[in-house]
Each structure stands twice: as C-alpha cells, then as structure tokens.
Amino acid sequence: MKTITKFQHKKVLVLGLAKSGASAASLLHKLGAFVTVNDKKPLQENPQAQDLLEQGIKVITGSHPIELLDEGYEYIVKNPGIPYSNPLVRGALERGIPVLTEVELAYLISEAPIIGITGTNGKTTTTTLIFEMLEKDGKRPLIAGNIGKVASEVAQKATEEHIVVMELSSFQLMGIETFRPHISIITNLYEAHLDYHGTKEEYAKAKANITRNQTEDDYLIINGDQEELIELTKFSKAKKVLFSTKRVIEDGAYIQDGSVYFRGEKLIDTEEIALPGSHNLENILAAVAAVKLAGGGNEAIRNVLKVFAGVKHRTQYVGEVNGRKFYNDSKATNTLATKAALSAFQSPIILLAGGLDRGNGFDDLIPYLKNVKAVITFGQTAEKISETARKAGIKTIVHAENVSDAVPKAYQLSEKGDIILLSPACASWDQYKTFEQRGDIFIEAVHRLK
C-alpha cells in the first residue's frame, strides 16, 4: 500500500456506510484524515457504525443533516448508491467540495496496476474471466470493485507483483478525480439506470470516465461493433484496442471462421468454449484482449475458456434432472439481459420470469420467445409478462406464487431435452432482498427436484 499524504489532517465526511463506506472510513483514518461518518441507519441497528466508533472515528447516524456542510469538510466520500440529488451531495458540489467514491481511494494507494472493467452488461463475467485467466497464468491477480470485494480494501493488500482486476459501475465512476487504470474496458453501452443518471447521455458520460485520466501509456478496450461507443471514447488518449464478433480487427480481438483471434493469432475454436451464448463471445473477446495486453499466455486463456461455465446468477448452469437442464440467470433484471439469455439456447425453453414492476412493458421480448414453449410468471409483473407471452403465441402460461413454486411447475411441463431458465427480466425487490437471494432459492428448488 502506498503511503499518501493527500488526506492527512484533512476533514473528510464519509456519506453512507455499507461495505464500501466502512472500508473507506477506516482507510482514511489510517491515512491521517479527520473522519466523520454519516449513515441513515440508527446506531443501535448499525454494527458497522459501532465498529467505527470503537476505532475512534466520529459517527453521526439516523439522518443526513444538511448542517454537516457547515463543518468545513474538504472532501466527501460517498456510497455509490446515494444519488447526486441527495441534498448533502448537491450542497457539497455547490460549495466546490470534491465528492469521491472509494474506488478513487483504492487507486491512490494501490501499488499494483489496475485493469478496470465497466459497461452495461457483461461486466462481472468479463472481470471474472480476466481474473481466472491471469491466476491460471501465475500473475497473482486480485479481484475487486462492484463484484463484491471492496476496492479500497483489496488495494491495501496489493503489491507491485499483483494486478488488481476491478469491476466498476457508472455510480462509482462518477466519483473519481485521478483514477487511472492501466487497462480499461467498456464492454458495451445500452440505456440503463436512468432513474439515477437522468439521461442516457449522462449515463454514457459516467461510463466514459473510466478512460478520462488514461495516457498514451495505457490501453482502452472497447466494443468495436458499437459506433456509439467508439464515438463516446474519441477523446481518450489511451491506445484503443477493439473487439468484434462481426468483423476482423487486425489490431484487436475477433471471431473468424469459428475461432477466437487476437492480433492475427488463433487462440481457440469457439466450439471448445464452455460458456454458452453468443453474447458471451463479446465478454470473452474483451477478456482475451486484456489478458494478452497484461502479458498473459495462450495456454492459460485456452484452459480457462474450456472449463469456465459462467458466474453465479448469470446464465449459470445449475444441473440436469432427468434430461432437463436448469440455468440460473437471476441477474437478468431487465429485458436486455433476458434477450441475451434466450438467445443463448437452441433447445426448447421453459422461461421463469417476473418481479418488481417499474412501469415498463415486455413486448420487446417477443422476437426472442420463438424457442419458448411455456412461461411461468411470478411477482408484480406476472400479468404483464403473461400478456406478452400471449402476444408471442405461447400457449402454455402458468402463474406461480414465487420462484420456489415456479420450479416444480416448470418441471411438470417439461420434457427431456428442454431448458428450464430463470431469467426474470425484472428486479427482485418485490419478493426478495437481492437477485442473489432469488437465484439461490432457484438453485435450492432445483436441488430439491433432484
């Protein structure tokens, strides 16, 4: 961990706890800052706040009092989930107080180079592939960021011998100042998180922050099949490396004659790749480009691609019961992700879908429902999805109370050779705390069938 003096004797407000806030507060305290933590959750229900108190850190809980801005803070480090419309955040920006997220702290203290991955879809799969390939090659990677391991915590352990592989959300990237990955990736760009960003333009701008501070010594890997993305990153000084599933890119990663290539060198035939779905070829190309640029070897890349079957909750193969294959795609919280999952299979599909109603419709799924023989719906959007299925000409539509109820109903309707796919196209919060909990319940229900 680098010793930095940037925050020494500076007043810093950490806004919002959760894992990243607690880690940021502890780190800033170590770096000699005068830290105050402010979290909405009352102290008696807030073990993280209690722990920080024991470390000698000032803690204010129960609300976000606007008067805190009169305390003379020189920096605010906010939890990525707190929107910029929050009065404290808005007030800080109006006063010219820098508002950071903890990935900025991670960058400042990391002795290791960083590979940063962002994009609308495929971030976690790409991040995990890079980590697995580098680990197989003996490069000592550390995985961090939006994938669940707090970046500023991981960065404290990183030495020059490591490589930090960091998944980054648009929320995190809005709070950077000097953050500069050696290799950055934008997997793709679609409309998302408009409730947070307001417009697609603002969302895109946040994603492009990943390359904002890169120089000619760095690399930017982008989806060469998205003109919008190429246009968005024109300003970047980094060396651009494109990937494409549709055309040959001589200085990038591409598919040609059923094989994966990087800079003209064939690495593996696509039929040898364990990860299902044409959309995953994009993630694979992005990962291959990053690993090759980081000095990774072909054998490690091939070995991982032959066995890596997916990240949990992302078109994850759960198992087979009497000739029916079960896939958990609980992370599909929008129709875009469900389209990708449906496109991954040629066999007849029984689709399990439904969840939180955010006011959108589902008719954009209709062209992707050709292989779907039955739909099991649940949650607030059950009727909306049923209506879409009817429009698509699907005859068998069944309502279930929840995911646990949906699995045996799907099995009863299935035949040998069918795919039973949980790909909800909705957030989970109407019935479950997280998409992970929803996916775990699906896995448990499948194991009960076994």
Helix (H) or strand (E) holding 259: strand 259-262
123 marked among binding-site residues = yes
Radius of gyration of the chain (CA): 23
- Which pLDDT score, from 0 to 100, does residue 95 have? 96
Residue 187, Cβ neighbours under 10 Å: how many? 27
393 marked among binding-site residues = no
Q: Which CATH class is domain 110-307?
A: alpha beta
- Which pLDDT score, from 0 to 100, does residue 101 have? 96
- Which pLDDT score, from 0 to 100, does residue 313 have? 87
Enumerate the domain spans of the chain.
11-100, 110-307, 316-449
Q: Quick one: pLDDT band at residue 248, thresholds 50, 70, 90?
A: very high
* Mean pLDDT taken over the chain: 95
Q: Quick one: pLDDT band at residue 260, thresholds 50, 70, 90?
A: very high
Burial of 440 (0-12, 13-18, 19+ CB in 10 A): middle
5 marked among binding-site residues = no
User: Following CA atoms 405, 406, 408, 413 in sequence, which dihedral angle do they give, to the nearest 10 degrees?
Assistant: 140
pLDDT digits (tens, 9 = 90+) for 153-167: 999 999 999 999 999
Average pLDDT on 233-241 reads: 98
pLDDT digits (tens, 9 = 90+) for 364-410: 999 999 999 999 999 999 999 999 999 999 999 999 999 999 999 99
- Report how far residue 236's alpha carbon sits from residue 219's, in angstroms, rounded to the nearest whole number: 10
pLDDT digits (tens, 9 = 90+) for 200-222: 899 999 999 999 999 999 999 99
Q: Quick one: pLDDT band at residue 359, thresholds 50, 70, 90?
A: confident
124 marked among binding-site residues = yes
32 marked among binding-site residues = no
pLDDT of 277 higher than 90: no
* Entry pTM: 0.82
- Which pLDDT score, from 0 to 100, does residue 121 have? 86
- 35: its two tokens: 């830290």
CATH for 316-449, options being 3.80.10.10, 2.40.30.10, 3.40.50.2300, 3.90.190.20: 3.90.190.20
Q: Which CATH class is domain 11-100?
A: alpha beta
pLDDT of 78 higher than 90: yes
Average pLDDT on 284-288 reads: 98
CB contact at 8 A, 201 and 216: no
Amino acid of residue 386: S
- Which pLDDT score, from 0 to 100, does residue 358 have? 85
Average pLDDT on 87-96 reads: 96
198 marked among binding-site residues = no
- 171: its two tokens: 């929320």
- Report how far residue 151's alpha carbon sits from residue 107's, in angstroms, rounded to the nearest whole number: 9
86 marked among binding-site residues = no
- Which pLDDT score, from 0 to 100, does residue 314 have? 85
